[in-house]
A and B are shown apart, each in its own frame.
Chain A
Amino acid sequence: MQRIGVFVCHCGSNIAATVDVKKVVEMVQMEPGVVHAEDYQYMCSEAGQAKIAAAIHEKNLTGIVVCSCSPRMHENTFRTAAQRAGLNPYMVEIANIREHCSWIHKDMEEATKKAVILARAAIAKVNLNTPLQPGESRVTKRALVIGGGIAGIQTALDIADAGYEVDIVEKTPSIGGRMSQLDKTFPTLDCSACILTPKMVEAAAHEKIKIYTYSEVEKVSGFVGDFTVDIRKKARSVDANKCTGCGVCQEKCPSKKAPSEFNRGLNTRSAIYTPFAQAIPNVPVIDRDACLKFKTGKCGVCEKVCQAGAIDYTQQDEIVTEKYGAIVVATGFDTIKLDNYDEYAYNQSKDVITSLELERIMNAAGPTKGHLERLSDGKHPHEMVFIQCVGSRCSDNRGKSYCSKICCMYTAKHAMLIRDKYPDVNVTVFYIDVRTPGKNFDEFYRRAVEEYGVNYIKGQVGKVILKPNGKLLVQGSDLLDNKQILKEADMVVLATAIEPEPSVRQIATMLTASIDTNNFLTEAHPKLRPVESPTAGVFLSGVCQGPKDIPETVAQAGAAAVKAIGLLAKDKLMTNPCTAKADELMCNGCSTCANVCPYGAISYEEKEVNDHGIRETRRIAVVNNALCQGCGACTVACPSGSMDLQGFSNRQIIAEVDAICR
């Protein structure tokens, strides 16, 4: 029989305001095995933990139940406290009477009743707990960063600087990401390329960093400390070792009609191309869908003009398999498609553009060489209208429910830059709210209004109307004046919502990392573990976790790096002891369990067993504790009931069921 101590936490008033903790203490004392019960204001505090330790010593406790917040919050705290007092940490169970009880119920009697039942279930379970010993697993001292934008680059640099090897996998031909497409950055108006390219160069030159561009993660297996990853290096059709980056092939390529991804399709590029002048590596790729050689067999101009002989039409995709201890996801974002917002005439007029397209137009290397002009007729605009929250803050399934966070600031930036460079251009911004939390952000926005004379109108736009003369008519609300405005414009810029880069879904599936309804990766805890995925060994960097601007992205990239370094610095990891285990006497070696195991953790051995005095050799399932992750699929599949999961055994769960239904 166990000797169980029950500790009921008030959590200040979080629990005690709705659950009568004294009553819980009184009720659980009648439960089998319980020899001690007490309540305290904050069980997780130093003093609370001391109470647990004292009771363990004084009452010779063999098991502990803490009625408190979610085990996801403090299970580890209490297990460690028990261990310090000499108890096996796996003899501790938590009854979640906060998240699952006091916070969702109002009626005290009802909540107290439920808290008692939850405590009983935990007590029933502890009665069947057995001490468990975690095993050890090794750590591969190398990290993988998926995505080569500013988030990925920064994470990689920080990990590499700490002395660990890092590989970056980037799916486009160059690292640099969205930031390389930006012209200027807020709130200091630095040139984006000027601050980004040094980092790109540093990453490329770093001896600890290996960059796989034009490559994608294909398969992930393993677990924290020991991931095995297949990387597909897509065929570049150019030998990177021979290419000198002279650029002649791109100049001479006769097929120049492919839309330029880097310029958001506003102009075209050659079939053999580097996305932009500062690309790293400075090795072009052949876009086989656009290349005449691949399409018709005739051409071969690039091969002829390449002095270095680097063109290789026969190149094939290559799969590289690498081992990693930690994986950082930094897959970034894209702007949403605007097909659901045709009232803004994006698909109907070339002069209605997204903000990211405006970045390219404003950029000296962009499709208009940095001149602000209408894409329809090349004319210089005199009236520009910006529309905020296009596709953000929508709960009607057309757009995104969240605020994209960066739009208010970049619109202020655009407005300011335009007014600065072209004082003849009037700029009007239709906004719902101007959101500028951030250092020097509101001051920046106010400068746009006060110093640059940008006209901010509170109200959303209903429709953008094309006029026969080529101008645009913006029909919007002025809520402060209670008017409907018709504003003639030459160009309209849409602050388009951002969404996680769509490929993140597959990556999350491969990593078994959770993802929310908007395809943002979920953090292990929204406040306290914001850069970790709930999946151990997977870390989050940048917009893949939620909308953020460059400074925040860089900060989070550093944080993710520190977490990865913290993992890589360890030589061994403690493994979860809640693994599956076969009862030798019941196992008949049928192989059903091995078939459902996603980790290949189960093998079979010919083993001599002593079945009630009969000694014989039988084929028996053996679980590799280093590989088993403790999902329990095998326990249910097992036809003889031999396979069980330690820490979540059949008897334990049934005991909980019984306690709840009593």
Chain B
Amino acid sequence: MSLNNEEFRPKIVAFCCNWCSYAGADLAGSSRLAYPADVKIIRVPCSCRVNPMFILRAFEKGADGVILCGCHPGDCHYSTGNYYARRRMTLLFSMLDYIGVENGRTRVEWVSAAEGVKFSQTMNEFVEKIHSLGKNVRLGDLRCRN
């Protein structure tokens, strides 16, 4: 447990596909649907562009949660990309669980360009979940810690 009394502000990386979820996040923005500033979005062309390595990297660098958002199944701009993403992430998440990064720290969610409300809700829920899990220390590089 950390001894400092500062409020825990999780670091959360959200990978969003350009066609659905990034647009959904834009819609959440233009509709002023708030979610915590802890979430930072990285734009990728498709959810299938997200290499499991990116997620491991994020945890290694101190992320407390990583969420991947793509188009709904069947609606992928590239037809099948989100299916690849789903399979890859299912595997990765079970492995993460095995090495001690709780399942709740990772999530895959389908958000369409029209679902600003869903995007905001999802992020709020996810941040809340990360808060309940607390700081992620498992994959952080101990040698980098002061």
Contact = CB atoms under 8 A, between A and B. Distances in A.
A and B pair up: yes
B94 to A, nearest CB: 17
A660 B62 CA distance: 10
Interface residues of A, number: 53
Contacts of B58: 657, 660-661
Nearest to B19: A534
B106 interface: no
A637 B76 contact: no
B129 interface: no
Interface string A94-127: 0010111101111100110110011001000000
Interface in B1-55: 11, 13, 18-20, 22-23, 25-26, 28-30, 32-35, 37, 40-46, 48-54
Given A517-B112, A517-B115, A100 B29 contact: yes
B132 interface: no
B67 interface: no
Interface in A49-105: 70-73, 96, 98-101, 103-105
A658 interface: yes
A433 B107 CA distance: 43
Interface string B111-141: 0111100001000000000000000000000
B25 A514 contact: no
Given A98-B29, A645-B49, A658 B37 contact: no
A631 interface: yes
A596 interface: yes
Most buried by B among A111, A630, A636: A636
Given A517-B114, A635-B51, A653-B44, A661 B63 contact: yes
A107 B28 CA distance: 17
Interface string A183-215: 000000000000000000000000000000000
A555 interface: no
Nearest to A632: B49
A162 interface: no
Interface in B42-89: 42-46, 48-54, 57-58, 61-63, 71, 74-81, 84, 88
A509 B84 contact: no
Contact of B40 (A118, A514, A517, A522): A118
A515 B54 contact: no
Most buried by B among A99, A516, A578, A650: A99
A104 B35 contact: yes
A404 interface: no
A661 B25 contact: no
A167 interface: no
Given A103-B29, A662-B61, A514 B71 contact: yes
A631 B22 contact: no
Would you list the 5 A-B pairs with minimal beta carbon distance, nearest first?
A: A99-B29, A632-B49, A516-B114, A661-B61, A631-B78
Interface of A: 70-73, 96, 98-101, 103-107, 110-111, 113-114, 117-118, 121, 508-509, 512, 514-517, 522, 534-535, 578, 596, 598, 629-633, 635-637, 645, 648, 650, 653-654, 656-658, 660-662
6 contacts: A104-B29, A598-B78, A598-B79, A648-B44, A653-B44, A660-B40
